[in-house]
Amino acid sequence: MTHSFNLQGKVALVTGANTGLGQGIALALAEAGADIAAAGISAPTETEQKVRALGRRFVAIEADLSSLEPIDRVVRGTIDGLGGLDILVNNAGLIRRADAVDFTEKDWDDVMNVNIKGAFFMAQAAGRHMIANGYGKIINIASMLSFQGGIRVPSYTASKSGIAGITRLLANEWASKGININAIAPGYMATDNTAMLRADEKRSSEILGRIPAGRWGDPSDLGGAAVFLASRASDYVNGAVIPVDGGWLAR
């Protein structure tokens, strides 16, 4: 079965790959054989070094993904720089925290523009290329809040619920065209986005108390699911949202 997970010769575009979950996913795809294009507002210097150390090609594309303007340029830059586009990982995301009664329009719009609007139109741009080729893998990054309500993150909850919805919608429309569209829902991961939670001793203890695995996740924990969904091994998987959560949802 190992050949089914081999990504040799494939090109993956990963948004927000400079740190955290995006970096972990990019490295897992590179280890499986894929060349990597990374798009985001920050230079993915460390990610590039690690991908190249694995013997894979790497292209960095600077883009502010809070706007739709750079999306076609990102897709074209991937194709021109690496010779194709087989895999898209919609990972770029924002989170803003405040009580719902105080939540601002700006915090709503900033998060929604990147997390759901940007993800949909990135999938659309990549999808046009993939449909023309009759093959492609799109992996959206969902969340535990694709299933639950959470607290103090109204726009994040709305956007990640939306990610689950558009994953299913795109699967319905594009599965017959040779495109697999699925999502990974990370649990509580040790990233910049959760730094405040981990620093809050009481909240961190509450979170860990509900995770059967007994620890915060590491970005590398997403690697197996990402490689599976990016590879031929998942050719009959469409519209799924796969939790990688240490058992959080089972509790």
Catalytic residue IDs: 156
CB-CB contact of 161 with 184 (8 Å): no
Q: Which residues, other chains included, contact 143 with Cβ-Cβ below 8 Å and sequence gap of 6+?
A: 156, 160, 163, 185, 186
Question: What is the sign of the dihedral through the CA atoms of 225, 226, 232 and 234?
Answer: positive
Torsion, CA 114, CA 210, CA 244, CA 96, rounded to 10: 10
- Tell me how far apart the alpha carbons of residues 83 and 134 are, in angstroms, rounded to a whole number: 16
Amino acid letter, 142? A
Q: Which residues, other chains included, contact 230 with Cβ-Cβ below 8 Å and sequence gap of 6+?
A: 7, 10, 12, 29, 32, 34, 87, 89, 137, 139
Residue with tokens 């795109």: 170
